[in-house]
Amino acid sequence: MSGDSLIGQGGLFDVEGGCTSPTSNQQADGGSIPTSPLQISAKDLIVFRIPMSMADKYSIEKHYLHRTAKNSKIAFGVRTKHDTILRGIAIWGAPVAKINQKVYMELRRMFLEDSLPKNSESRVMSICIRQIKRLFPNVRLLISYSDLSMGHRGTIYKASGWIDMGVIKGDKKGGWGTTHTRHKRVEFSDKRKWAYPI
């Protein structure tokens, strides 16, 4: 899977406060340099805020749903400390469920390249949570859903200390057996709900 260069985006700062220095990830003919498995550890990853437009573009291209996440509030990019190639994203926003929007926030999209090392998801999740606590002090609970139809069992949530809230059954009428409804384009498969108090 090829990486995406941050060249030309400008104004990007990692969450630890250092400014990135974008570099190109293209060959002389303009094609992307293929990404090979990286000989790094999860501690070599840097998580930083990115424009929502960049996150949406990456999500449409890489995430299995291939579309943007509505009502998003903040997006993080993932790179290694060795380059500035965008290797993943995490988009957080208002919950789709009709619950208190001020104290809840939902992980709407997350994608990391397969080339990233073991435990990358847990590290990215941990940094995102720390930043959300700082930037959104009113938020008290994070929620997310793992799509059982895609074989997503919630391994990264378990590893990161999230609470398993059980399976929400899908239906063909546009709901998940709850009082809220989902966007008409969402596949209404069974989902496992996860929660993380902060």
Is the pTM for the entire model greater than 0.85? no
Q: What is the mean pLDDT of residues 32-43?
A: 65
How does pLDDT run across 115-146, given as a tens digit for each residue? Answer: 898 889 999 999 999 999 999 999 999 999 88
Question: Which amino acid makes up residue 124?
Answer: V
Give me the residue spans of the domains in the chain.
Answer: 4-197
Domain 4-197 carries which CATH code? 3.40.630.30
Q: What is the CA radius of gyration of the chain?
A: 17
Quick one: which of 86, 50, 133, 178 has its CA closest to 125? 133
Once rounded to an integer, what is the mean pLDDT over residues 21-29?
40
Higher pLDDT, 10 or 197: 197
Indicate the pairing of strand 104-112 with strand 141-147.
parallel
Q: Where are the alpha helices (DSSP H) in the chain?
A: 52-62, 120-135, 155-159
Q: Identify which has the larger pLDDT, 146 or 75.
A: 75
pLDDT at 70: 73
Tens-place pLDDT, residues 178-194: 434 444 434 567 888 99
- The upper half-sphere exposure of residue 50, i.e. CA atoms within 13 Å in the direction of its Cβ, equals 32
CA distance 167 to 172: 16
**Residue bearing the bigger pLDDT, 180 or 67:** 67
